[in-house]
Structure formats: C-alpha cells, structure tokens
Amino acid sequence: MTAPIRIAAFYKFVPLPDYESLRAPLLRCCEAAPVRGSILLAAEGINATIAGTDPAVDVVLAHLREDARFANLAVKNAWHDNIPFRRMKVRLKKEIVALKAAHADPRRQVGEYIEPRDWNALISQEDVVVIDARNQYEVQLGSFRGALNPGTESFSKLPRYLDETLDAEQHKRVALFCTGGIRCEKATALLLANGFERVYHLRGGILRYLEHVPSAESLWQGKCFVFDERGAVSHAEAPTDEQT
C-alpha cells in the first residue's frame, strides 16, 4: 500500500531575473495547498523539496508550471508515512546550491548525463576518476565503491579540492555524483569552465540509481543521506522516478 505522504524533489537551472517577486505568491500557494518543506529561489533557478498529500503537491506543481520557465519541471517522488518537515520555507538566495564560483554556470554548459543503467560500466573503467561531490558527513553513510572522498564540510569547499586534485592534461575523464544531481550539474559546469573536456555526472543522482539498479548489481555501499527527517535511505527505500 502506498504511503499517504508524497515527497517531491525538484530543481532547475533557468534564468530568473525576477526571482524575488516569485517568493510571496509561491509561499501563499504552498501554505494554502497545504505542503511543508523548503524552496530556494535565485537568479540561477529553483531548488526544492516539498511534502504533503498527492493533491496538495499537485497544486504547487501546477502553480509553478503556469510559468513557462517551469513548464517541463522534472520531479522525483518518494512516499512516506508522515511529512518529514516541520514547516514551509521559501527563501531567496544568491545561488540555489552554493558553490561560490561565478564562472560555473549550468545554464550555459554541464557535463554529459549518464543514466543509472550505464553508470557501473563507466565508473569501472580505469581511466575514469570518480568523485563524490557531497560533504564528508554524507559520504560517511555510504558511497560508490572506489570513489574519491573530497572530505569537504560544505559544497563551496569542493572547488579547492578539485583544483588541488585534478589536472586537465592528466585526468582526461572525470565522473561526479551527488544525492539528486544538482550539485553535480554545477560541479561539472565548473570543470568544463576550467578546461576539462570529458566530464560526466549521474542523471538523477544516487537516489535515481538506487531506484533503477537492482541491489544485486549495485556498486553502491551503505545508505544515502537525505535532507529531511528520514535521515537516510537505502535501495529498498529509494523514491519512484515518476516525472509529474
């Protein structure tokens, strides 16, 4: 039986010069729906996780898709017994994911997307450097076998690690992954801006991999940290990949 609460995660890098004016009507919509969770708005796009009943989540998604810039918004859904958020927040930010590297712009260029079914074959190749783009406390719970751990305390520390660890002339193929894909989009944009030519990232992140790749074939070890009261999920708890 499907759990009664839908958890919808979505993001999109898209120019939003008017992002400040979007906040108030979006917050009103979320509160009226009602849903709880967190939505970040910035000039570079939107990043959100919201939770509520199926109809309530649909109300918010319909509101967003009235704006042509969000018409093709892709959503990753999971189901839970209760709402894993205490309140609803819509915040204005300089970045929807803080890398603090102005020349990294996913709206212009990102690395090559690799589908979950093709990820194992890619990261098993000896000439591919595989990097976990998440923070240390996330990596401690689980990661892909053989992946490098930057040991960072925040995503904004990743550029320094990449600069100190990688060389565009020596490391010809680099693959990155993160929880849902947003951090990797920005990290691959950074590497491309820095002269790397063959950069890959896992489409939909770890969560989509856990859903699509059977545990018997998986190269994932441990659990995946998630940013709500669930704490972490495993293969059996991975979200559905319904695009609504």
- Residue 211 is predicted with a pLDDT of 86
Residue partners of 60: CB distance under 8 A and separation at least 6: 26, 29, 30, 33, 35, 50
Q: pTM higher than 0.95 for the full model?
A: no
Residue 210: burial class (beta carbons within 10 Å; 0-12, 13-18, 19+): buried
- Helix or strand or coil: residue 168? coil
Host H or E run for residue 210 = helix 205-212
Q: Which of 30, 178, 184, 224 is catalytic?
A: 178
- Residue 238 is predicted with a pLDDT of 56
- ∠ CA(5), CA(54), CA(243), 5° rounding? 105
One pLDDT digit (tens) per residue for the chain, 244 residues: 456 999 999 999 999 999 999 999 999 999 999 999 999 999 999 999 999 999 999 999 999 999 999 999 989 888 888 898 999 999 999 999 999 998 999 999 999 999 999 999 999 999 999 999 999 999 999 999 999 999 999 999 999 999 999 999 999 999 999 999 999 999 999 999 999 999 999 999 998 899 899 999 999 999 998 877 677 777 655 554 433 3
Cβ-based neighbour number of residue 241 at 10 Å = 15
Burial 130-149 (b: 16+ CB within 10 A, else e): bbbbbbeebbebbbbeebbe
Biggest CA pair distance of the chain: 54
- Residue 244 is predicted with a pLDDT of 30
CATH for 112-237 (3.40.50.360, 3.30.420.40, 3.40.250.10, 3.40.190.290):
3.40.250.10
**Which DSSP category does 67 fall into?**
S
The CATH code that applies to domain 5-92 is 3.30.70.100
Query: What are the boundaries of each domain within the chain?
Result: 5-92, 112-237
Measured between alpha carbons, how far is residue 144 from residues 46, 128, 166 in Å?
Answer: 28, 13, 19
178 is catalytic: yes
- Residue 201 is predicted with a pLDDT of 97
- Residue 1 is predicted with a pLDDT of 44
